[in-house]
Structure 1
């Protein structure tokens, strides 16, 4: 564990908090440990066994617990598979394959094969959005619907927040908290616990530092599955205006929402996502 954490003790703190959050999972769940070529992958499964499969991929420095506010809604209609991405702050292996290779796609192949899933819908956020897009580009026939929240890899990463973050680090834990507030855009009493968890993770965890590859116009044009993209107009980590613009121009079957006043963390969109996932693929002829 220490490869992606600053210390074994820090890894243990993050792991214990994750276990607490999983105990608060609001619907019945099964925990699976899936063997893959990159090491063990942790998956939380909920929803009716005979329902359509829905894959959930979280963001950087996060884990499956990020979906606990939405899962009750989605697990009514879908068999949900919330996957801890390898190399992130969950319960999967610490392996971090290079992003400019096909290894993450091969890893997801292993997960889907073990789960017995030929095709899936996907909801993904931030880095998870990059992983989902990479898979959709490489395996276009396997993703039936793609819902992306602040996805990486379309608009450029922005670094304007970084000097302020480096300055705030001088102020210890309080500075880390203020950085988390700037980066996520979360600034209400209701999101204080979320910020606490982000601060706990990022005081112990070493995030990926490589820049995320940007998908070409041509790659985006080949995404023919129905797609929903939701971005925050005030995202300081990604150029959300460019994300929205490129998707509108190059993805033939995409719906794009830009949320005013919202930063990188996009909450409260479970109904919008459900509506998209459950939409009839084609209008029936009269």
Structure 2
């Protein structure tokens, strides 16, 4: 999913896409991660292993929640933070979203594809990409990762770097009122709502995401430096 984005953003700065250990990818999770603090510590260890100091941190969906959680704990390490459709972080997820998720987890493989289609506005990849997406829901979710928590007003105040929140106008996981709460808790944050897009905004409106993020990065750090996105 990130290939076209990395290609475009990489024209301006180094881009590193990290496989989270609790998702389908090349990393191997050896034990459950039950707390947000543990997930943030894992990310710090990963950045240390890659040899990066201060970075731009971007995450989508669960990764967007983790990016915000990381920013509340390690804001001194971030040049900027970008969270795209972070479920549960700004406002609680809608009840219907929790119901659909619980139905998917209880129903097994037969419920995975309908759930993904519901979340992604009916836009599903084909072939191996769809198989990998389904595997991420069926196999890897069982390894254990913390549920996204709502970030408190005090935690928002700890994020001192440049901050961009990108939401889909028709998201089924992040309520429309989320932008209002961001304005209240982080008045200096930049908020962009992509018209007609749902939770899968990078899939539905890739050009918009490429442009919005590139413009934000150019303002957060005009000159190319020793950083990574």
SS of the aligned residue for 1:160 comes to helix
Task: Give the corresponding residue for 2:153.
Answer: 217
SS of the aligned residue for 2:11 comes to helix
The C-alpha deviation readout for 1:184-219, integer Å capped at 9, x for no partner, is: 2244xxx54365642354354435575322110111
Task: Give the corresponding residue for 2:76.
Answer: 141
Would you say 1:278 and 2:223 are equivalent positions?
no
Would you say 1:233 and 2:169 are equivalent positions?
yes
TM-score after normalising by structure 1 = 0.65
1:108 aligned residue (43, 47, 50):
43
SS of the aligned residue for 1:231 comes to strand
| 1:222/1:171 CA distance change after superposition, 3 Å | closer
Which structure has more relative contact order (CA 8 Å, sep 6+)? It is 2
Task: Give the corresponding residue for 2:226.
Answer: none
Count, aligned residues: 211
The C-alpha deviation readout for 1:29-56, integer Å capped at 9, x for no partner, is: xxxxxxxxxxxxxxxxxxxxxxxxxxxx
Q: Could you list the runs of 5+ residues in structure 1 that have no partner in the other structure?
A: 1-65
1:125 aligned residue (54, 60, 84):
60
| Aligned partners of 2:108 and 2:138 also within 8 Å | no
Q: Could you list the runs of 5+ residues in structure 2 that have no partner in the other structure?
A: 223-229
| Aligned partners of 1:186 and 1:265 also within 8 Å | no
| Aligned partners of 1:177 and 1:196 also within 8 Å | no
Q: Would you tell me which structure has more helix in proportion to its own residues? A: 2
Task: Give the corresponding residue for 1:52.
Answer: none
1:260 aligned residue (171, 195, 205):
195
Question: Greater Rg, structure 1 or structure 2?
Answer: 1
The C-alpha deviation readout for 1:121-180, integer Å capped at 9, x for no partner, is: 11111111121111111111111111111013112122314556738x87964x532321
Q: d(CA) in 2 for partners of 1:170 and 1:224?
A: 42
Task: Give the corresponding residue for 1:54.
Answer: none
2:90 aligned residue (137, 140, 154):
154
Q: d(CA) in 2 for partners of 1:105 and 1:161?
A: 25
Task: Give the corresponding residue for 1:99.
Answer: 35
| 1:247/1:200 CA distance change after superposition, 3 Å | same
State the Cα distance separating 1:254 from its structure 2 match: 1.2
Would you say 1:84 and 2:84 are equivalent positions?
no
SS of the aligned residue for 1:246 comes to helix
SS of the aligned residue for 1:108 comes to helix
Q: Would you tell me which structure has more strand in proportion to its own residues? A: 1
Task: Give the corresponding residue for 1:21.
Answer: none
